[in-house]
Amino acid sequence: MKLSKKGLDLLKQLEGFRSKPYLCSAGVPTIGYGSTRYSNGVRVSLKDPEISEAKAVEMLIFDVTAFENDVTMLTKTVILTQNKFDALVLFAYNVGSDIDIDTIPEGLGDSGLLKKILKNPNDASIAPEFMKWVHAGGKISNGLIKRREIESNLYFAA
């Protein structure tokens, strides 16, 4: 599956565009629509020059492709609607995919959210799992609370 136009537009809205590098709420140098790396793999630095919105969209689409692939791989045993897929790509874009061999929940891959989805992607108890991911820099973030509500609502939208 691919992120829908609606999903991409929502991601752009959630991330917001910034032409100059900045520190995200977790303290990571970021630019454009939440990109932490350029398309060539180089990490964003606070000393980097401004970028255009067109460049930011190019970077976003490059980044999103990896998350689409990760979500597809992580959920290959279940059938997802477009809204469910979009919500998981948005979630993974923000918290990471966590595709590794450990069981430490550092992103979608080892999360309770994914475990519940793999058991039953329509289970209503999935909604609170989104809300377990509202911390940035060790503190609860009101922005992340709102984002998780949006992602959860999208996940369960018809």
Instruction: Report how far residue 63's alpha carbon sits from residue 69's, in angstroms, rounded to the nearest whole number.
Output: 10
Strand, coil or helix: what is 152? Answer: helix
Contact 155, 87 (CB under 8 A): yes
Instruction: Report how far residue 142's alpha carbon sits from residue 140's, in angstroms, rounded to the nearest whole number.
Output: 7
Instruction: Record the tokens describing residue 9, joined without a space.
Output: 């537009």
Instruction: Report how far residue 102's alpha carbon sits from residue 44's, in angstroms, rounded to the nearest whole number.
Output: 27
Contact 155, 45 (CB under 8 A): no
Phi-psi category of residue 12: left, alpha or beta, with phi > 0 → left and psi -120 to 50 → alpha = alpha
15 in catalytic set:
yes
Catalytic hit among 15, 68, 129, 151: 15
Instruction: Record the tokens describing residue 114, joined without a space.
Output: 């994914």
Residues designated as active site: 15
